[in-house]
Amino acid sequence: MAELKNPLELYKLLKKSNCGECRVPSCMAFAVAVVQGQKTLADCPYLDEDTVAAVGGRVVRHKSFAEEQVKSLQDLQQKIRSTDFAAAAGRLGATLAGGRLAIPCLGKEFLIAPDGTMASPCHVNFWVHYPLLNYVLRCQGAVLTGEWIGMGELKEGGDWDQFFSHRVEEAMRQLADAHTELFFEMLEVFGAGPLAGGSSADYSLVLRPLPKVPFLLNYWAQEEGIDSKLNILFDRSASRNIDPGSIFYLGGGLVEMFRQLIVRHSRDGKLF
């Protein structure tokens, strides 16, 4: 029997009255809820039993984002189990601490156990756990070149360029515009320091989310009809030490962390 994955295929079977008796607002929303596993076909009282029996077993439930995250972490944790931490520490810029890898990240130490679980003085979430495990598995220990390039120039970075620009650079630009002083103070608290040799930007700070993958954050404030601008660059060696997806998650994690800190520490407790 053919699998049924597309909500549109389910929608064709429904009454299309949008009556809401299934407790979602429309038949289309119901079809989506079924493939996401939040509803079953039997929740629509207008589908006859024969249809429910015939079609129900063909529905392939999509994984939720949270489920995808759990699966991704489990896959990486499985691979970490066969990593020799003692041999890996040097190439990662990490140290060994009681059998765990201690990786400096944003001015704190994150401890990775041989089973891939992670502990730190900060809140551990997917945004930092996933990239750190990937870093352990992928980092070749490539030496920094001193040449800064954009996400699109990294190996396979083209697939992530737009996401990164929208979800990370643009989100940070908005935070920097609205809370300039606080935003750059927070970066310094996380260990960011000025770019050696300076740059044309109003602020140019080097941040180290991972020991061998520095981020260069450049910000130009708005002036006389010219919009502000923020970009994040990476050392050309980054492709040999991490994958662009992990860089995206690290950047997204930074945005979320800055948002929470701004709400907590800004004068009026508002983001914008």
Q: Candidates 12-20, 152-160, 193-201, 225-233 — which segment interacts with ligand SF4 by CB under 6 A?
A: 12-20
Q: Which is nearer to ligand SF4, 19 or 86 (CB)?
A: 19
Q: DSSP secondary-structure letter at 58?
A: T
Between helices 126-138 and 244-265, what is the axis angle to 10°?
A: 150
Q: Which is nearer to ligand SF4, 28 or 137 (CB)?
A: 28
Q: Which is nearer to ligand SF4, 30 or 110 (CB)?
A: 30
- Side by side, the strands of the sheet bearing 213-220 are 148-149, 229-235, 213-220, 203-210, 193-194
CA distance 196 to 146: 10
Distances (CA, A) of 210 to 139, 244, 267: 10, 13, 31
Count of CB atoms situated within 10 Å of the CB of 231: 17
- Please list every residue from 13 through 42 that binds ligand SF4, using CB under 6 A: 14-15, 17-22, 26-27, 30
Q: What would the two tokens of residue 257 be?
A: 């962390």
Position 242 contacts ligand SF4 (CB under 6 A): no
At its nearest, how many Å lie between ligand SF4 and the CB of residue 29?
A: 8
Torsion 92-97-99-102 (CA) sign: negative
Q: Which is nearer to ligand SF4, 45 or 193 (CB)?
A: 45
CA-derived radius of gyration, the chain? 23
Q: Which is nearer to ligand SF4, 36 or 162 (CB)?
A: 36
- Please list every residue from 45 through 84 that binds ligand SF4, using CB under 6 A: 45-46
C-beta separation of 112 from 99 below 8 A: no
At its nearest, how many Å lie between ligand SF4 and the CB of residue 252?
A: 35
C-beta separation of 137 from 79 below 8 A: yes
Place of tokens 């944003």: 106
CA distance 185 to 193: 11
Q: Candidates 9-17, 81-89, 138-146, 157-165 — which segment interacts with ligand SF4 by CB under 6 A?
A: 9-17
At its nearest, how many Å lie between ligand SF4 and the CB of residue 53?
A: 17
Number of residues located near ligand SF4, criterion CB under 6 A? 14
At its nearest, how many Å lie between ligand SF4 and the CB of residue 22?
A: 3
Q: Which is nearer to ligand SF4, 43 or 202 (CB)?
A: 43
Question: Interface with ligand SF4 by CB under 6 A: which residues?
Answer: 14-15, 17-22, 26-27, 30, 44-46
